[in-house]
Amino acid sequence: MIRKEINKISEVGKALISVEGNPGVALNHVVELLEADSNQSLSFAKAINITEDSTRFQVFNGTTGLSTSTKIRMHEIPLTAGFSNKMLGRSFDGAGEVSDGGPDVIFEKEVSTRLDTLNPTVRNVPKQALWTGIPMIDVFNTLVKSQKIPIFAGPTEPYNRLLSQIAQGAQADVIIFAGIGLKFDEYHYFKEQLSQSGNIDKTIMFSHLAGDSQIKGLMLPDVALSVAREFGDQGKDVLVLLTDMTNWSNILRNVANYQDMIPSLQGYPGSLYSELAKRYEVAADIEGAGSITIIGATTLESLEDPVPDNTGYITEGQFFLENGKLKLARSLSRLKQGVNGKTRSDHRAIMTAMASLLADAEKAHEAAEVGAANDPYSQKLLRYRTDFIDNVEEPFGEPIELEAALDKCWAILKRHFDPTETGLSKKLIEEYWDKN
Amino acid sequence: MNDINKKRTGNLISIQDSLVKARFFDDVIMGETAEISVDGKFLQAEVLQIQPDPKNADAGIVEMQVFEDLTGAMIGDEVVFKGTPLSVLLGPGLLTSVWDGLQNPLYKLSEEDPYLKPGMNAPALDEEVLWDFTPSVKVGDTVSGGDVIGNVPEGKVDHKILVPFSFGTCKVESIIEKSSVNIIQQVAIVVDEQNKKHELQLAFRQPVKSPIPFVDRAIPSHAISTGTRVIDLLAPVGYGGTVGNPGPFGAGKTVLQHSLCKYAVADIMIMAACGERAGEAVEVFKEFAELEDPTTGESLMNRMCIFGNTSSMPVAAREASVFIALTVGEYYRYQGKKVVLLADSTSRWAQALRERSGRQGDIPGPEAFPMDIPDQIKGMYQRAGEDLGTGGSLTFIGTVSPAGGNFQEPVTQATMDATGGFWGLSQDRADAKKYPAIDPLVYTTSVYDGFVSWKDRRKMIQTLNDANDIDQTISTIGLKKVPVSNYVQFQKGLTIDFCVMQQDAFDKVDACTRPDRLQVINQAVQNLIDSSIDFQQGDMDDEQIKELIKQKFDGLRQWWREWNYSAKSEEEVTNLPKAVDKFILQEEYAV
């Protein structure tokens, strides 16, 4: 097939180019940019704004090196992502091109990256746990298949290490790692961790490094999520790890700025909520098929920043990472009620009792700071608090099964309290207290 | 104006996200709908603005928002103008339906594809279902817009068949006998004053941006039993009232909405899931179907319909979804029904307007919202109201999702200005797991006497206020320096807060408190507030007394909480004021 070519780039800016007139390209369709003389492919680009006087494109590889003589070849199709089961164990860039230096992947099919909305009537009400092997999640804020949930963390917190830990322990069929704006050491860390873990053969990496073309970072979640969705449609339980969505939002902000869009809060476009929601809403438990679960990392300075704030309204809770610990008080899984009543009989009771004691312990801790926690019970609470932070809020280490994690919780309670102080029912005390 | 039956077309000259411009040569009506032909599919659009064409004096340029994804659209694609504004199909079958924001039936669409693709659509109401129509007019009768020509039973709801509101005075030329008909069969022919004949069916289309009129509008004054104590006691909403319900994420907006949906006493409940999580709408239409309607005992879905324009659906349709839901509400109000509309969330609706005005290049107002956003929000809430003429009402409860949980932001402020009631959810209360997290000290209501008298309500608020003040004093100067009498007052407030204002939405008994039970609670609360209790036992110093007071009140609270969860029979319910009276006398009250 001979593809139509044009040769009249009129404007080259940051990440964007424009051509004069109407070359007959359709919205969101892909074009290829070629060196004028050698016909060497320089980049792909996508039509984002078309008028009868000019057409504007987002250039996937950035605009450095492009000139007004660069040729544009029309592909007359919207952006798609290649899909194949052979992608498992491999690495790709934001446009879905092989990036691990290995052989090309022969794709079985091309899937749309438009991320059409799943008809809500086809969604199952989420009721199946996705066990991670991390007690703070499994016991206290159970992750549920189809959940969308961010890790809120300061920029220096080990949120990527946590994601990697989850990837290694998670009981999912396919794990899709989507990294946007990664620093090289982060990228390297993930690669190392994943290749050492038993989950490498069910993992696909999509990565975009800081300094890579912004447009490739911008499109990376769509490519990764489209591939994830195809696995989900085929009946697989897929876990998608997005890191870091603040980087992604910042690229969105940059590109909106290049397009002269009117900013709303802190320079982000007014569409930030809708854009984040479009990606997170891919998470679903699909009737008659599999499921897609999304854990996103959101770095923040303050919870009131537009990215975490909008994310909180979109997602089903959040995991809060602080000083390297998963904090019970600030984390929430909105879907846990649907699953934690069907596990061991002590699960919900242990969760409530320990949380309530921890809240009391926090008060004692505050009182202790002004020297007002000298009574024996306050001292108990303080020792419990330390134990809880060190042994329950600690997310790193060997994955632990739920039952073992619950037993560990009983052991902690027993270390510090009399049975009556725990608020747990007699029946549960009789059943579990002396076993641990 | 040109004949609207003539095909009027235009061609695209600009495409950006969901906003397009087209050149036209005929005539275009502001606000009318259009179909854009893209790649063999027809996409729905709405005219936003009409401008002169700088390049062609014979032509004009029309700016439109498109309700579907425009991928594949090209310059020159044809636009066909429909002559009618954005409208909703009204008729039997509305109840139990689940639509997208443009009234496409989602269950029907899922038969075609599990994903919502541009250009997909289906009739809003099932055209095959037969309804038992009973006429109430005869040949020769004079009717006009809004008049009843017959009725059909829609489940337990008596659904009146109306003459479309746009009609002037007409004579009935023919009407069918009592029979079973579907919504596209003709049931009557009426002749207008220009001698033009019009066929009537069970269903008709109604524009959504111009309100259906009231017959005799009243000020809402009859409180709705919502089942949520803090609302019904302190901040009741009247039938036909308006409420803004802002709260930061995690403060419990969704749980409160679901609770209202389940327990508010109303004939019809409409939910506009506007730009929110799909999972929450799914929970409503998949799980509420198994719950009982508090008044009829039937499936809750029989009194509901849902518009689900969830957060990943096209933004332009988000704006439409709220207007469509409002119009359905007005239609049932006109039939004399008590309707409650829950819109979650009006902030997403406002953001849709912000995205659009940004693309149109309008000069932005505060936080880039359109300058006229307060007026648009007021206009929306104004469509709620009580109609004495029909006996119906439309109550509008809108959630607000303030950016950063900051109530000073433009949408929250405009909502406070527009609504009669305000239920502010507090982050502090949510953090302390005090649910529902409506701050009993930060709310407004326009209902003077609700389920308890104004005087009783004032006393309750005063006690809560005092307790709050004393609490602050305790944390600044320490408990030691607080007088015993103040400490008792503090404990009273704490008890009312803990046992009455807080409620467990997940407990079968506690989740819903009806007015009779509320009276009992109020009696107990008032007695407690009025009481003076003698805690002195022998020779105790102030510290010991305070310790004793705390223990005693702890005991009362524990008993009262237990009562909240367990008291069902009339006898069990009346135990509460008895127990409180005994507590006041410092007698044993374990009943």
The interface pTM score, or ipTM, of the predicted complex is 0.92
Note whether B295 contacts A: Cβ–Cβ < 8 A: no
Note whether A269 contacts B403, CB cutoff 8 Å: no
Note whether B358 contacts A119, CB cutoff 8 Å: no
* Chain B environment of A27 (Cβ under 8 Å): 15, 70-74
* Chain A environment of B70 (Cβ under 8 Å): 27-28
Tell whether omega for the bond before A378 is within 30 degrees of 0, i.e. cis: no
B52, B68 Cβ separation under 8 angstroms? no
Note whether B277 contacts A: Cβ–Cβ < 8 A: yes
Q: Shortest Cα distance from B12 to chain A (angstroms)?
A: 8
pLDDT at B1: 41
Residue type, A247: N
Taking alpha carbons only, the member of A114, A190, A188, A89 closest to residue B118 is: A114
Note whether B311 contacts A277, CB cutoff 8 Å: yes
What number is the average pLDDT over the span A187-213? Answer: 89
pLDDT at B139: 97
Note whether B312 contacts A: Cβ–Cβ < 8 A: yes
Shortest CB distance from B277 goes to which of A24, A278, A314? Answer: A314
What pLDDT, in 10s, does the model give residues A211-251? 899 999 999 999 999 999 999 999 999 999 999 999 999 99
Note whether A27 contacts B70, CB cutoff 8 Å: yes
Instruction: Count the neighbouring beta carbons within 10 Å of the beta carbon of residue A4.
Output: 13
Residue A39 phi/psi, 5-degree rounding, is 60, 15
Helices (H) and strands (E) in chain B, counts: 14, 26
Q: Checking DSSP bridges between strand A91-92 and strand A203-209, what pairing results, if any? A: parallel
What pLDDT, in 10s, does the model give residues B41-74? 999 999 999 999 999 999 999 999 999 999 999 9
Residue type, B366: P
pLDDT(A35) > 80: yes
Give residue A364's pLDDT band: very low, low, confident or very high (50, 70, 90). confident
Q: Shortest Cα distance from A53 to chain B (angstroms)?
A: 8
DSSP assignment string, A302-347: -TTSHHHHHHHHHSSEEEEEETTEE-TTT-EETTGGGTTTSS-TTH
- Whole-number Cα distances in Å, B551 to B97, B216, B480, B546: 53, 56, 17, 9
What pLDDT, in 10s, does the model give residues B115-162? 999 999 999 999 999 999 999 999 999 999 999 999 999 998 999 999
Note whether A118 contacts B114, CB cutoff 8 Å: yes
Note whether A314 contacts B311, CB cutoff 8 Å: yes
Q: Shortest Cα distance from A26 to chain B (angstroms)?
A: 5
Residue A287 phi/psi, 5-degree rounding, is -55, 125
Note whether B98 contacts A: Cβ–Cβ < 8 A: yes
> Would you say the C-alpha torsion B287, B94, B307, B125 has a positive or negative sign?
positive
Note whether B351 contacts A274, CB cutoff 8 Å: yes
d(CA A362, CA A374): 14
Note whether A304 contacts B110, CB cutoff 8 Å: no
pLDDT at A2: 66
Residue of A nearest to B344 (CA): A313
- Whole-number Cα distances in Å, B302 to B298, B308, B323, B524: 7, 17, 22, 37
Q: By three-state DSSP, how is residue A75 classified?
A: strand
pLDDT at B441: 77
The one-character DSSP state at A120 is: G
Chain B, residues 370-409, CB within 8 A of chain A, namely 401, 403-406
* Chain B environment of A48 (Cβ under 8 Å): 16
Torsion of CA B300, B301, B307, B309, to 10 degrees: 80
Q: Shortest Cα distance from A103 to chain B (angstroms)?
A: 32
* Chain A environment of B367 (Cβ under 8 Å): 264-265
* Chain B environment of A289 (Cβ under 8 Å): 114
pLDDT at B540: 86
- Whole-number Cα distances in Å, A371 to A358, A364, A389, B483, B584: 19, 10, 21, 24, 36
Residue of B nearest to A113 (CA): B71
d(CA B500, CA B576): 12
Taking alpha carbons only, the member of A221, A294, A228 closest to residue A252 is: A221
Structure tokens given for A107? 């794709």
d(CA B190, CA B164): 11
Interface test with B, best of A4, A48, A114, A116 (most B CBs within 10 A): A116
Note whether A259 contacts B: Cβ–Cβ < 8 A: no
Give residue A260's pLDDT band: very low, low, confident or very high (50, 70, 90). confident
Q: By three-state DSSP, how is residue B428 classified?
A: helix
Stretches where chain B sits below pLDDT 50 are: 1-2
Q: Shortest Cα distance from A55 to chain B (angstroms)?
A: 9
pLDDT at B136: 97
Q: Shortest Cα distance from A276 to chain B (angstroms)?
A: 9
B233, B457 Cβ separation under 8 angstroms? yes
Shortest CB distance from B351 goes to which of A26, A146, A270? Answer: A270
Tell whether omega for the bond before B456 is within 30 degrees of 0, i.e. cis: no
Shortest CB distance from A26 goes to which of B21, B74, B106? Answer: B74
What pLDDT, in 10s, does the model give residues A199-208? 889 999 999 9
Note whether B29 contacts A: Cβ–Cβ < 8 A: no
Residue of A nearest to B313 (CA): A117
Shortest CB distance from B115 goes to which of A117, A264, A270? Answer: A117
d(CA A231, CA A173): 9
Chain A, residues 350-409, CB within 8 A of chain B, namely none
Note whether A273 contacts B351, CB cutoff 8 Å: yes
* Chain B environment of A121 (Cβ under 8 Å): 98, 106-107, 110, 282, 285
- Whole-number Cα distances in Å, B281 to B185, B273, B287: 33, 6, 10
> Would you say the C-alpha torsion B541, B546, B549, B550 has a positive or negative sign?
negative
Note whether B75 contacts A24, CB cutoff 8 Å: yes
pLDDT at A199: 82
* Chain B environment of A16 (Cβ under 8 Å): none
User: How far is residue A173 CA from its own chain's centroid?
Assistant: 17
Interface test with A, best of B11, B12, B14, B15 (most A CBs within 10 A): B15
* Chain B environment of A52 (Cβ under 8 Å): 13-14, 75
d(CA B464, CA A363): 23
Note whether B115 contacts A119, CB cutoff 8 Å: yes
Q: Shortest Cα distance from B576 to chain A (angstroms)?
A: 25
Residue of B nearest to A309 (CA): B404
Q: Shortest Cα distance from B11 to chain A (angstroms)?
A: 11
pLDDT at B2: 45
pLDDT(A359) > 90: no
Note whether A123 contacts B: Cβ–Cβ < 8 A: yes
CB neighbours of B231 closer than 8 A, spacing ≥ 6?
A: B237, B423, B436, B438
pLDDT at B254: 86
| Contact pairs from chain A to chain B, CB under 8 Å | 165
Rounded (to 5) percent helix, strand, coil in chain A: 35, 25, 40
Q: Shortest Cα distance from A197 to chain B (angstroms)?
A: 33
Cα–Cα–Cα angle for A424, A428, A432, rounded to 5 degrees = 115
pLDDT(A1) > 60: no
DSSP assignment string, B388-413: TTTTEEEEEEEEE--GGG-TTSHHHH
Interface test with B, best of A111, A313, A335, A356 (most B CBs within 10 A): A313
Interface test with A, best of B21, B249, B253, B406 (most A CBs within 10 A): B249
Q: Shortest Cα distance from B66 to chain A (angstroms)?
A: 13
